[in-house]
Amino acid sequence: MATPAQGPAEGPCSTAPGGPEVHPVDQKLHPSRLVPAALQHIAAMYAGVVTPPLIIGQAVRLDTAGQTRLIAASLLIAGVATLLQTLGVKGFVGNRLPFVNAASSAGIAPMLAIAETNATGDQLPAIYGAVMVAGVFCLAIGPFFGKLLRFFPPLVTGVVITLIGVTLMPVPVAWAQGGDKTAADFGSMKYLALAAFTLVVILLIQRFGRGFVRQVALLLGLLIGTLAAIPFGMADFGALGSAPVAALPTPFAFGAPEFQPAAIISLCLVTLVLMTESSAGMLAIGEICGRETDGRTITRGLRTDGLATLLGPVFGGFPTSAFAQNVGVVSLTKVRSRYVVAAAGGALLVLGVFPVLGAVVSTVPMPVLGGAGIVLFGSIAVSGIRTLSEAGLDDSSNIILVAVSLGAGIIPLAAPTFYADFPAWEQTVLGSGISAGALVAVALNLFFHHLGTRGGASAPALKSS
């Protein structure tokens, strides 16, 4: 683990020899401190960055080459977005804080719903069309989003974050059973044993690991689980031989985008939640770093989200937002330099132009991903529960709001055919537990806390999950 900043870096600002005072956020650290600190950020974000392309690629049945392209694109866009956010173009994009941007897991469930309502070959084009419009939507309302935040208090965002973890849990469970539901050995004990072994390894590292080792528990679990699978013939490294060592993502490699109204609505709903989370993250990182985060800073940060979300699908990217786990890394290490996170973004960009590295991720056996995925998505649900615990659940109307919203969000999970007789556009919107839960939570928040109240009830302060 990188050691906490010492001396002047701990104060509100430091003074360069013979020069003006430099805020810790703007400090350019020596490589001996910058590199290990950047590695921690990469370790914290890497599993989250590659999760959306892994899940979507599996859902649309991409071959290994297609999966590799998706992973490379996700890494590339994450790198570019993080560089834009940390370095910025003054007055236009970038909050110029130690802030990570990458593909968000919040978009996975609605994108899976879009994939299920489209034929093979149209799935990714429909997803990318909706993502691009969601990017335009983010850019359009970003400058005014501060006025909308009171409609997305922790009560609403907590419901959505919880639903993200809960509704995605069937994905790692299927991975733990082998991944291919049509295979004769799906769910066999060899797969379940490998998934359980990976989960136990991660738990042991979390229990007994220290510092950096504990920070990278998920990655170490994936590595050890893959090594354990080799003697049993459960790891296939054939993709490494066919993947190009270096290549730039091809524009629209998966087809021209298709713009379907229902898909667009579901992604725009999720974008509102992502913007709320990004705003919360910016407020949190500003407080941690001792730098005021005003409306203009949030607007520039959201503009970065919008640009990355709009342009990402050109190369195979997905909706982009803040990574809350990296806010935690800054808080833990006390290393507040934005150049540390910029270095991490640069490393992700480099990883994105080397598809062979994406192929390495593709070789991880499905049961190993399943064991790690239970931890990953379970932790997302816990983040939502933590947000809800701070949202005033001692109030009966808030309890009803959360109960009904969670119920609406769990319907597609508990009864997948519940909306089978609804029009196609409603199936796409309501068939995603996240979209359904978000709609109900926002509507009930308006009903209980805004309609008929003088000036509308004031929402609690945003908190980062």
pLDDT in tens, the chain (465 residues): 344 444 334 444 555 555 567 888 888 888 888 888 888 788 777 777 888 898 898 888 888 788 888 888 999 999 999 999 999 887 788 889 898 888 888 788 889 889 988 888 889 999 999 999 999 999 999 888 877 777 778 888 888 888 878 887 888 898 899 877 888 888 899 999 999 999 999 999 989 988 777 767 877 888 899 899 999 888 777 666 666 777 777 899 888 999 999 889 889 988 887 888 788 778 778 877 888 888 888 899 999 999 999 999 999 999 998 886 677 678 766 788 899 999 999 999 988 888 777 667 667 888 988 898 888 778 778 878 888 888 878 888 889 999 999 998 899 888 888 888 887 777 777 777 777 888 898 899 999 888 766 655 444 444 433
Burial class of residue 389 in the structure, from the number of CB atoms within 10 Å of its CB (0-12 exposed, 13-18 middle, 19+ buried): exposed
pLDDT of residue 281: 78
How many angstroms separate the CA atoms of 153 and 156, rounded?
6
pLDDT of residue 453: 67
pLDDT of residue 338: 92
3-state secondary structure of 22: strand
* Per-residue buried b or exposed e for 343-352, using 16+ beta carbons within 10 Å of the residue's own CB: bbbbbbbebb
pLDDT of residue 463: 44
CA 48 to chain centre: 6
Asked if 302 and 88 touch (Cβ cutoff 8 Å), the reply is no
| Residues contacting 187, CB < 8 A, separation 6+ | 177, 178
pLDDT of residue 465: 36
- Return the biggest CA–CA distance within the chain: 73
pLDDT of residue 71: 87
pLDDT of residue 249: 79
Which regions of 13-154 does DSSP assign to beta strands (E)? 14-15, 21-22, 101-103
pLDDT of residue 241: 67
Query: Residue 437: which of 157, 104, 153 has the closest Cα?
Result: 157
pLDDT of residue 375: 85
How many angstroms separate the CA atoms of 373 and 165, rounded?
10
Joined together, the tokens standing for residue 91 give 């007055």
pLDDT of residue 274: 85
pLDDT of residue 332: 64
3-state secondary structure of 454: coil
Element (H, E) at 322: strand 320-322
How much is the pTM?
Answer: 0.74
pLDDT of residue 343: 94
